[in-house]
Chains A and B, each alone.
Chain A
Amino acid sequence: MSGRSFFAFLAVLAVLGLLGFGLLSKGSAGVDIGSPAPSPELPRLGQRGTGSLADYRGRWVLVNFWASWCGPCRDESPALQRFQDRYGGHAFTVLGVDTRDLSGDGEAFVREFALRYPQLRDGDGGAAHDYGTTGVPESFLVGPAGRLRLARRGPVTETYLSDYVAPLLGAGAKG
């Protein structure tokens, strides 16, 4: 291969590499049922320090992505808090993730709905992207071993929680 052909080959390779990188970086992530759930380290909403899904290993966790500007999130929040009141404990917790939201607005939302389950902050939407969310609210039930068991696109309801989530909590459920 002559020097000129080699440089042309390198140039074509570089262009293809850039195109491939662009396509891969734009692609959406996501997680399949049964796969390990992403567990990024995130700041705690309204508190110092960070937290992640891994902190709750051994428990069932309902990871709920929400934002204060989202109407359906307002609708589902009371149901989530009631579910937490009934089942929350050593075997289960709801874990709120305030995504692409202003922290002050998120904290006001938590106060307004008197949410007492743990809350993390996902300002740049990185965690929501890792879970493959397409909007808010979306909820993901993660088993004690850290694997995804259920995914709910859109708001959860009392019926959904009692029909789909509660039966999976099994003997570990409280009340």
Chain B
Amino acid sequence: MTRAAAAILAALCLLPVAASPAAAAAPKTSLPDIEDEVMCPICGTLLELSDSPQAEREVAFIRRRIAAGQTKSQIKDALVAEYGDQVLALPRGSGFDLSAYLVPIAGFLIAAVALAVAVLRWRRRGAASRAPAAGPTEGPEAERLEADIARYDL
């Protein structure tokens, strides 16, 4: 009896471990998780903000696929197959669409470098303008300066 109880306990402990790989392979998704990442193509707005007849059909399409156990990625692929890439609220992170992410980053970096160069130049100009003007080092002016320093015993 004790052995049987221990075996059942051990089996119960192992159940979540056995189930976890399957769960990881097919993560559950939900309608709110998808409808803020896809568009209602006719309305030109996010699906979550749309209540048009076309949006209702699209929501029903997503619900059916969630019920069938499909992942978010599979459902989005199915939507793209139906409506084309324009159904995605965000461009895909590959191919030409990758430029939608890279161009702003490149623009930011270029602007940062340009700003840094401009600041450095302004600082150099400011330092140059604050530097004392070179005094006379020779000639009558220099002689008069030396005479004045000697007279006032500076």
Q: Please measure, in the bound complex, the distance between the C-alpha atom of A133 and the C-alpha atom of B53, giving whole angstroms.
A: 18
- B55 to A, closest residue via Cβ: A69
**Any chain B CB within 8 A of the CB of A51?**
no
Q: Please measure, in the bound complex, the distance between the C-alpha atom of A105 and the C-alpha atom of B61, giving whole angstroms.
A: 10
Contact flag A69-B41 (CB < 8 Å), given A102-B82, A123-B83: no
**Any chain B CB within 8 A of the CB of A103?**
yes
The smallest C-beta distance from A40 to any residue of chain B, in angstroms, reads 13
Chain A residues closer than 8 Å to B120, beta-carbon distance: none
**Any chain A CB within 8 A of the CB of B54?**
yes
Once the chains bind, are B54 and A124 in contact (CB under 8 Å)? no
Once the chains bind, are A68 and B57 in contact (CB under 8 Å)? yes
Contact flag A67-B54 (CB < 8 Å), given A100-B42, A124-B41: yes
- A135 to B, closest residue via Cβ: B42
Once the chains bind, are A124 and B53 in contact (CB under 8 Å)? no
The smallest C-beta distance from B14 to any residue of chain A, in angstroms, reads 42
**Any chain B CB within 8 A of the CB of A125?**
yes
Could you tell me how many residues of chain B have their Cβ less than 8 Å away from some Cβ of chain A?
A: 15
Q: Please measure, in the bound complex, the distance between the C-alpha atom of A125 and the C-alpha atom of B84, giving whole angstroms.
A: 9
| Interface mask (A68-103 → B, CB under 8 Å = 1, otherwise 0) | 111100000000000000000000000000001111
Which listed residue, B41, B53, B58, B81, touches A70 by the CB 8 Å rule?
A: B53
The smallest C-beta distance from B154 to any residue of chain A, in angstroms, reads 48
**Any chain A CB within 8 A of the CB of B30?**
no
Once the chains bind, are B53 and A123 in contact (CB under 8 Å)? no
Q: Please measure, in the bound complex, the distance between the C-alpha atom of A102 and the C-alpha atom of B61, giving whole angstroms.
A: 8
Once the chains bind, are B84 and A69 in contact (CB under 8 Å)? no
| Interface mask (B65-90 → A, CB under 8 Å = 1, otherwise 0) | 00000000000000001111110000
The smallest C-beta distance from A72 to any residue of chain B, in angstroms, reads 11
Contact flag A69-B56 (CB < 8 Å), given A102-B61, A124-B41: yes
- A124 to B, closest residue via Cβ: B84
Chain B residues closer than 8 Å to A100, beta-carbon distance: 41-42, 54, 83
| Interface mask (A112-133 → B, CB under 8 Å = 1, otherwise 0) | 0000000000011110000000
Once the chains bind, are B41 and A102 in contact (CB under 8 Å)? no
By CB atoms of chain A within 10 A, which of B42, B56, B61, B86 has the most? Answer: B42
CB contact list, A112-165 vs B, under 8 A: 123-126
By CB atoms of chain B within 10 A, which of A67, A68, A69, A103 has the most? Answer: A69
Once the chains bind, are B82 and A103 in contact (CB under 8 Å)? yes
Q: Please measure, in the bound complex, the distance between the C-alpha atom of A15 and the C-alpha atom of B87, giving whole angstroms.
A: 28
Q: Which 3 A-B pairs have the closest CB atoms?
A: A124-B84, A69-B53, A69-B54
Known A101-B54, A102-B82, A104-B61; 20 more pairs at CB < 8 Å: A67-B54, A69-B53, A69-B54, A69-B56, A70-B53, A100-B41, A100-B54, A100-B83, A101-B57, A102-B61, A123-B81, A123-B83, A123-B84, A124-B41, A124-B84, A124-B85, A124-B86, A125-B42, A125-B84, A126-B84
Residues of B within 8 A of A (CB): 41-42, 52-54, 56-58, 61, 81-86
7 pairs, A vs B, C-beta closer than 8 Å: A69-B52, A69-B57, A100-B42, A100-B54, A124-B84, A125-B84, A125-B86
